[in-house]
Chains A and B, each alone.
Chain A
Amino acid sequence: MDAIKFVQDQLIKKTDFRKFRAGDNIVVSYKIVEGNKERIQDFRGDVIQIKGHSGTKTFTVRKISNGVGVERIFPIASPSIVEIKILKRGKVRRARLFYLRDLVGKKARIKERKFIASASASAKKD
C-alpha cells in the first residue's frame, strides 16, 4: 500500500483549476485573513516555475510591482486559493524561467502563444 498516496487522497482537496504552464500570465485569487475579516486578493503575474507533484505541487508567480520584482509561491492544493484565471498563454522554451529575474523592461516580456485554428483542430471540437 502506498501510504503517502493514500493520505494525500484523503486529506488534499481536489483542484479543478485549468491547467497552466510556465510562461502563462495568470491571476490567482486567494483568501487573506485580516484580524477576523476575510477578503479575496488577486495576484497577477507570470508563472515562472511549477514544482513538485500531486498534493505538494507548488507554482511560482512573478510580477513587477512599482518597478520591483515580486514573486510568490503558491501550493496548488492550498485551501486559500479561490480561483486561478489564465489571461495569456506564453511562448517559452524552458520550464523554469529564472532568466526573467535578470531582465528588466521590454526584455522581460514573454511572447504570447498564438493558437491557429487548423482544420484538424476545429474538426476535433465538433
Chain B
Amino acid sequence: MTSIFDEAGRSIACTVIEAGPCVVTQVKSEGSDGYSALQVGFGDAKVKNTTQSMTGHFKKAGTAPKQRLVEFRDFNAVDKQLGEVIKVEEIFREGDFIHAIGTTKGKGFQGVVKRHGFHGVGDSTHGQHNRGRAPGSIGAASYPAKVFKGMRMAGRTGGDRVKIQNLKVVKIFPEQNILLVKGAVPGHKGAMIIIEKK
C-alpha cells in the first residue's frame, strides 16, 4: 500500500494492484460445457514446474505457462477469443467500484479477543487478576449438557477467503496494467487476488 493526495490535499490510502495482462486460456460455452465462462491466466509460471497436461492446455491458447487460472462466469465485459490478451483499461475505468477476493493473512492460533472481537474482562478491576482476555462462560450446565455448535472459541485465525466489496478505483496506468484502489485488499504483499467489477 501507499498513499496519494487528492485535489483537496487529503491523503488517501491506496493499494497498488498489478492487474494484467491476462490471457484468455479457455472459452467455455453453453453447448460444450453446460455454462458459459471465460478462463483467464495471469503471471508467468516456470516451464519446469508446469505439468504436461497444463502445458498442453496453455499451448492450445498459444501462451506461456501461467501461474494462476481463474474462471469468470457469464463474462461479457469484453468480447475475447482464445489466446487474446485482456488489458486493465478494457475493463476498468477510474471511479469504478470493484470487489477484491483473496486469502487473508494467516494469524495462527489466536484467542477470542482477536479472533471474534470479544471485549475481554473489564480492566484490572472487578476482582479479577489473570483472566483479562478469557472467553468467559461457554454455556449452562446439566441442561443443555453440551456446548452448542458454532460456539465462538479460540483457534486458527486468518487465511480465509474473503471478498472486500466496493473499493473505488482511484487511478489506472494502462501501460503498466496497474490499478490504484482506495483502501486495503486481503492478503500479504504480492498476494494474488481476484478483482470483480461491481
Stretch of A14-22, A75-83, A103-111, A113-121 with 4 or more beta carbons under 8 angstroms from chain B:
A75-83
| Chain A residues closer than 8 Å to B9, beta-carbon distance | 31, 78-80
B192 CB to nearest A CB, Å: 14
Q: Which of B2, B11, B173 contacts A8 (CB 8 A)?
A: B2
A77 to B1, CA, bound (A): 16
Q: Are B176 and A6 in contact (CB under 8 A)?
A: yes
A41 at the interface (CB under 8 A from B): no
Within the complex, which residue of B5, B11, B173 is in contact with A7, where a contact is CB–CB below 8 Å? B173
A7 touches B3 (CB 8 A): no
Query: In the bound complex, how far is the Cα of B2 from the Cα of A47, in angstroms?
Result: 23
Q: For the complex, is A23 an interface residue (Cβ under 8 Å from B)?
A: no
- Do A3 and B3 contact each other (CB < 8 Å), given the known contacts A10-B173, A11-B171, A78-B11? no
Whether, in the assembled complex, B16 has its beta carbon less than 8 Å from a beta carbon of chain A, the answer is yes
Give chain B's interface secondary structure class: strand
Question: Which A-B residue pairs are the 7 nearest by beta carbons?
Answer: A80-B9, A3-B16, A11-B4, A4-B16, A7-B16, A79-B9, A3-B18
Against A, the Cβ 8 Å flags (1 = close, 0 = not) of B157-198 are: 000000000000001010010101000000000000000000
Smallest distance from the beta carbon of A78 to chain B beta carbons, Å?
6
CB distance from A54 to the nearest CB of B (A): 9
Number of interface residues of B (CB under 8 A): 17
B contact residues around A55 at 8 Å (CB): 2-4
Residue of B nearest to A77 (CB): B5
Chain B residues, Cβ within 8 Å of A10: 173
CB distance from B182 to the nearest CB of A (A): 13
For A79, list chain B residues within 8 Å (CB): 5, 9
Partner of A6, one of B1, B3, B8, B178: B178
Q: What's the nearest-Cβ distance from chain B to residue A83, in Å?
A: 15
Smallest CB gap from B178: residue in A: A3
With both chains docked as a complex, state the minimum distance between the C-beta of A115 and any C-beta of chain B, in angstroms: 35
In the complex, which residues of chain B have a beta carbon less than 8 angstroms from the beta carbon of A31?
A: 9
Contacts of B2 on A, CB cut-off 8 Å? 4, 7-8, 55-56
